[in-house]
Amino acid sequence: MNWLQLVTPYLDTSSLPALAGTGSFLLARVLGALIPAGLLAGFFPRFAETLTDDVVRIRPRAVILMLLLGFAVIATTPILVALLILTVVGLGLAFLIFFLYLAVMLLAFFYAGILLGSLLARRYARRSTVLWRDGVVGMLLLSLVALVPFAGSAVVLLAVMFSTGLLLSRAFHLAFPREEARLPADRQA
């Protein structure tokens, strides 16, 4: 009796290639998410720390607002792109908005994992700096949660909606700073 018969007594030989294919697909899917999250956290640690500080200081009302903002962007942008494609004049703008939408969704997905990992690092390692491995650990946990049927997809969708709202809120505050946040020399000019 070989080791494969001991490990898988209820599998026949025809289902082994399907099991191996599924396992390799899941491994590639998880690794495909871990690498960009680790690179983003490693290359842009200050931005991840800023987002984590925002999450730590956020009020419950603002969490709901971030979720609503993320939902609005996720739900309405494809409708806007479809309407712009219908008009021949808006075709270029539709492509631009579509590619920006894809970039924001990818960043939101990766930063959801980075935020999870950096929050865990703050809680358990008592460290406020974000390292690349925080992004990898957080993305691994988010990928494992995504494997849970039904509830996992809902949790990942909520995390992506929240990080979408947080990223867009941060981008808005960078593009349009408050008047009192400017330097005194800028106010006089």
Return the CA Rg of the chain.
Answer: 21
What pLDDT was estimated at residue 28? Answer: 82
User: CA-to-CA distance for 145 and 168, rounded, in angstroms?
Assistant: 25
pLDDT band at residue 6 under the 50/70/90 scheme: low
Q: Which of 119, 134, 108 is nearest to 56 (CA)?
A: 119
Q: Is the pLDDT of residue 189 over 70?
A: no
> For 112-160, how does the pLDDT look when each residue is reduced to its tens digit (9 = 90+)?
999 999 999 999 988 888 889 999 999 999 999 998 888 999 999 999 9
Element counts in the chain: helices (H) and strands (E):
8, 0
Region 153-178 average pLDDT: 92
Q: Is the pLDDT of residue 171 over 60?
A: yes
What pLDDT was estimated at residue 26? Answer: 79
> For 21-77, how does the pLDDT look when each residue is reduced to its tens digit (9 = 90+)?
777 877 887 888 889 999 999 999 999 999 999 999 999 899 999 999 999 999 999
User: CA-to-CA distance for 19 and 173, rounded, in angstroms?
Assistant: 48
Of 19 and 25, more confident? 25
Of 8 and 127, more confident? 127
Q: Which of 162, 176, 168 is nearest to 66 (CA)?
A: 162
**CA dist 96 → 77, 83, 85, 141, 169 (Å):** 12, 14, 11, 33, 20
